[in-house]
Amino acid sequence: MAGPFASQKFGRTGDEAEPDSHLGLLSGLTLSLLEAETEEAVRAALDEASSLLARTAAARAAICEIAISPGGRPLILWHSAQGGLEVEEDAIFLAWFDAASRIRSGFTGSRAPWHGVLSKQAIGRDTGARIAILLEKSESRIEDLMRAVADAGAAATSRIRTLKAQALGRRHADEALEAARTWIELGADIVWEASDDAILHCRNVLSGRSEIARTLEGMKLDEIAIGNRGRNLLQRLEDVGRLRHMRIQPGDALRAALRPGEVLYISATRARKQGGARWFGTLSILPAEEEQEATRETAAMMLQVKDARFREERQRREAEAMLQGLRLLLARHASSGKLAELVALIADCLGGEEACVIERGLDGKPRYLVPARQEASRAADDALSFLSSRTAEGAAAVFDASEDDGARLMRAFALNGRHLAVLSLPLQTGSAWLLCATRRDGFAPADLDFADRFTLLLRQALLLREEQSQIAQTAKMAALGQMSASIAHELRQPLNTISLAVQNLEYIVAAPDFDADAVAAKVARILAQVDRASEVIDRMRRFGRKSAGDIERISLAELIANVEAIMGHVFLRAGVRVEQEISPGLAVFVDRLQLEQVVVNLLQNAVDAIAGAPQERKEGLIRVLAFAAPDEKGMAVIRIEDSGPGFRPEILERVLEPFFTTKSAEHGTGLGLAICDTIVRESGGRIEPGNHAQGGYVAVYLPLGAD
């Protein structure tokens, strides 16, 4: 409907319209949003608005519908197809949303290259819907109009969804009422109703006992006594709203209508309507000896209805959890964050209070994946050996903490509870286990069955993590291949020195006047060169080793010095000078081998950038800076600057994309920076490329290591 709104009601659209007419169209769209009758019409209108905003502001624009997940995280439910600006659920978006939720006046800025406004929370309070409008630059002249469009979009969305919910509720109520009538009539002798005057009217006599219907017709509900205590029927209904199969204490007229040995039971419920309460129900005539059997049948039926409702609610919760898990699996978050959120979902479905995931990798060591930084105890090693023999793929094992095995597992994994559920997660290169503890009295079998199915998503997240690690290792070996010439040169120097020393040693030993001191000096020189060659080989072997995922406190000065030693001859051959400026004592909390790979890749990219600089730039210079982030508490920055040509504006926002490269096919695959970005995000940081006065730079933000 948005397209017709713009074209039929408000004149010109498209590239032929002037900026002032764009503002008029936007104003018209704001009013039209409030007339929209479907969600599709609202979204079409917002799509048109994003295009008009982009043309009005001469900048890319985006409009998003945002909802809040059960965990409190903002989720983008819909994103405009027009406007040209792409927005993702990353850390920058989360920071912007947090700021926009707290600030109501003016554009809300962020670290992102865009600014925006957010609809009022109160507008979509019933449905949780909010509308965000984002521009690449701040435009004060249209800020109020943008906010009006956002509020109108949120109001229209909320109104349409509320109407849908009300219509669905009415339909369900009508269906339930009709089902109740049918069910009641099947087990009743008389169907009755009473309006808000509380006078009983018999509407349907099913058993031919019209004499009883005539006796009850026109009787007031407060004149009918029920139960052993003879309570007032109307008062009872006012108190509880409904009653099932209650015995009527008959007066003289009703007793005369009943046959000897018959008992009269009444069922009733109340339906809320405008103008007061409306009552309806049934009357059942039973022989006295059937009273107990009828009561049992009624109770059994009530239990069946209750069980059906419970199953329906559980299936709904399971479906919601599975959908949320799929969204997490497909999102572009770090795998560690995905694992933590998936584990929290499984624990919630199981009714557990604490949960963890622990693996035994190829190195044989137990290692926590969730929580990410928890250290495995010595007892965890024996506990995993025990679990590998007691748990099978696709089946959950439950341990009682009051028994020896359960208590030992609780202590080994620092969990607290009365029962422990363990699910095996076989991987390609090792094994992992999900453990969930509850303080309740055990786990429901249906919940364990669902957890078995849900762990398929968790296993996919673990497999994705393994594949990312394998891709990173492949890139590392490719980097070693690129440095092979430098490695050969690094080894050739000590070998040449050893060769000359051995030749001189032969002359000294063969001389008539044997000089023992000269021999000792030559031998010492040979041993020193052997140590130098051995150190080169050890450095390369450590760099080429596959990471086991160990997170530790790493000194940046030590790590950068080691990387510079590995790449020393790369710099010499390229004629590049390297300067360092590292804050004393600065350390980060990361995987050493993975961070070495990131720094090597960034330095190699800097060398390649300098090689592509114009010829008039005589000196190649790389500056490696490391310091505590001034505007982010708890973060450190490694900034690598080069004297190359820098990043062109059109590629700056794409350099972290997989397979994007400006190098030739022989010199690059476009995976280096993408892999670095994945490694850094897994470590809880981010990468930001940019330009400075003399060239380009890449800044790596990482969490500071605690002393």
* Residue 44 pLDDT greater than 80, yes or no: yes
Q: How far apart are the C-alpha atoms of 166 and 170, rounded to whole Å?
A: 6
- What is the per-residue pLDDT for 149? 87
Nearest one of 48, 54, 55 to 9, comparing CA atoms: 48
Share of the chain above pLDDT 90, in %: 8
Q: What is the pLDDT of residue 217?
A: 93
Per-residue model confidence (pLDDT) at position 123: 81
Kind and range of the H or E run holding 509: helix 484-510
Specify the fold of 331-454: Beta-Lactamase (3.30.450)
Q: In terms of Cα–Cα distance, which of 347, 604, 658 is closest to 481?
A: 604
User: If you average pLDDT over residues 59-78, what whole number do you get?
Assistant: 83
User: What is the 8-class DSSP label of residue 17?
Assistant: S
Instruction: Count CB atoms within 10 A of the CB of residue 646.
Output: 20
Residue 14 to residue 566: CA distance in whole angstroms: 57
> Do 187-307 and 331-454 share a fold?
yes
Q: Please tell me what DSSP assigns to residue 546.
A: P
Confidence of residue 192 (pLDDT cuts 50, 70, 90): confident
3-state secondary structure 392-448: CCCCEEEEECCCHHHHHHHHHCCCCCCEEEEEEEECCCCEEEEEEEECCCCCCHHHH
Question: How confident is the model over 680-704, as pLDDT tens digits?
Answer: 877 778 889 899 888 899 999 998 8
What is the model's pLDDT at position 190? 87
Least confident stretch, 258-262, 274-278, 502-506 = 274-278
Cα separation of 87 and 83, whole Å? 11
Which pLDDT does position 224 carry in this prediction?
92
**Band of pLDDT at residue 461, cut at 50, 70 and 90:** low
CA 382 to chain centre: 33
How confident is residue 434, by pLDDT bands cut at 50, 70 and 90?
confident
Q: If you average pLDDT over each of 166-170, 455-459, 619-623, which comes out highest? A: 619-623
Q: Could you tell me the CA-to-CA distances from 461 to 107, 334, 400, 412 in Å, in that order?
A: 38, 10, 29, 25
Q: What is the mean pLDDT of residues 161-167?
A: 78
Name the range with the highest mean pLDDT among 145-149, 177-181, 610-614.
145-149
| 62 confidence band (pLDDT: 50, 70, 90) | very high
Listed in sequence order, the residues at least 6 apart from 451 whose beta carbon sits closer than 8 Å to its beta carbon are 346, 349, 350, 396, 421, 423, 436
pLDDT digits (tens, 9 = 90+) for 91-121: 888 888 888 887 765 566 556 678 888 888 8
pLDDT score of 1: 36
Average pLDDT over residues 580-590: 89
Q: Which tens digit of pLDDT belongs to each residue from 397-430?
A: 889 888 888 899 999 998 988 889 888 876 666 6
**DSSP β-bridge partners for residue 69:** none
Query: Of the segments 504-513, 569-578, 657-666, which one has the largest average pLDDT value?
Result: 569-578
Confidence of residue 272 (pLDDT cuts 50, 70, 90): low
pLDDT at 260 over 60: yes
- Residue 605 confidence (pLDDT) above 70: yes
The CA R_g of the chain, rounded to the nearest whole Å, is: 38
- pLDDT of 632 reads 85
Q: Where are the domains of the chain?
A: 2-164, 187-307, 331-454, 546-703
Residues forming a β-bridge with 266: 246, 283
Between 309-323, 397-411, 433-447, 477-491, the lowest mean confidence (pLDDT) is in 477-491
Of residues 327 and 481, more confidently modeled: 327
pLDDT value, residue 535: 61
What local confidence, expressed as pLDDT, does residue 393 receive? Answer: 57
CATH 3.30.565.10 fits 546-703, yes or no: yes
Q: How is domain 2-164 classified at the architecture level of CATH?
A: 2-Layer Sandwich (3.30)
pLDDT at 4: 34
- Report in angstroms the alpha-carbon separations of 374 from 12, 32, 240, 380: 62, 55, 53, 12
What does the pLDDT read at residue 532? 60
pLDDT exceeds 60 at position 186: no
Q: Which CATH class is domain 187-307?
A: alpha beta
Number of Cβ within 10 Å of residue 669's Cβ equals 14
Find which of 80-89, 354-363, 508-517 is predicted with most confidence, using mean pLDDT: 80-89
Q: Which of the pair, 674 or 59, is modelled with greater confidence? A: 59
Q: Which two tokens stand for residue 701?
A: 């933000």
Put residue 343 in one of left, alpha, beta given phi > 0 → left and psi -120 to 50 → alpha: alpha
Per-residue confidence (pLDDT) for residue 2, from 0 to 100 = 37
Question: For residue 304, what pLDDT band results from cuts at 50, 70 and 90?
Answer: low
Residue % of the chain over a pLDDT of 70: 67
pLDDT of residue 501: 65
User: In sequence order, what are the residues at sequence separation of 6 or more whose Cβ sits closer than 8 angstroms to the Cβ of residue 358?
Assistant: 366, 367, 368, 369, 376, 380, 384, 413, 432, 433, 435
* Residue that wins the pLDDT comparison between 44 and 10: 44
Greatest mean pLDDT among 36-45, 215-224, 228-237, 345-354 lies in 215-224
Closest CA to 286 of 268, 262, 267: 262
Q: Classify residue 441 by burial, with Cβ atoms within 10 Å: 0-12, 13-18, 19+.
A: exposed
pLDDT, tens digit (0-9, with 9 covering 90-100), for 492-548: 666 666 666 666 667 666 666 766 776 777 677 677 667 666 665 655 565 555 554
**Quick one: pLDDT at residue 684?**
79
